[in-house]
C-alpha cells in the first residue's frame, strides 16, 4: 500500500495482526511481535481505512483521512490543521511501536537530461 503524508509517498506495511472490536475500541493483536494495542474510536476509524487500502493494494493519503474525520465528527474547517497534526502523531506512534513499516518511495526524475 502507498501512504501519502504531506505529499511524500511511503511504502506502508503492517505487522500481521488479528483484531476484535469491543464497544468503540479496536484491539489489535500482533502475533509475530507478541504485542497488543487498544485503539480508541478515532484511531479505529483510521486503522479501518488502512486495512481497506491494504486489501486493495491501494493508496491512502492524509487528506482523505482528514476529510473522513472532519466529516465524521462534524468539525469546523479551522480544526483541519489540528486534525492533520494528530494524524501525523498517530503514524509516528505506530512507527515507534513497530507495528507499521514505512519507507520513502523515490520519485522518478521528471526532468529531461540534456
DSSP sequence for 14-82: E--EEEEEETTEEEEEETTTTEEEEE-HHHHHHHHHHHHHHHTT-EEEHHHHHHHHHHHTT--GGGHHH
Domains in the chain: boundaries: 2-14+42-104
Global pTM?
A: 0.84
pLDDT digits (tens, 9 = 90+) for 20-72: 888 878 898 988 888 888 999 999 999 889 988 988 989 999 999 999 999 99
* C-alpha cell read off for 68: 473522513
Amino acid at each position: 500500500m502507498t501512504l501519502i503524508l504531506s505529499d511524500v509517498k511511503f511504502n506502508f506495511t503492517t505487522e500481521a495482526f488479528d483484531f476484535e472490536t469491543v464497544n468503540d475500541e479496536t484491539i489489535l493483536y500482533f502475533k509475530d511481535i507478541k504485542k497488543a494495542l487498544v485503539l480508541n474510536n478515532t484511531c479505529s476509524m483510521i486503522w479501518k481505512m488502512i486495512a481497506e487500502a491494504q486489501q486493495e493494494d491501494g493508496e491512502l493519503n492524509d487528506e482523505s483521512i482528514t476529510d473522513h474525520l472532519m466529516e465524521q465528527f462534524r468539525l469546523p474547517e479551522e480544526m483541519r490543521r489540528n486534525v492533520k497534526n494528530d494524524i501525523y502523531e498517530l503514524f509516528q506512534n505506530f512507527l515507534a511501536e513497530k507495528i507499521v513499516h514505512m519507507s520513502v518511495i523515490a520519485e522518478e526524475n521528471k526532468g529531461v537530461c540534456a
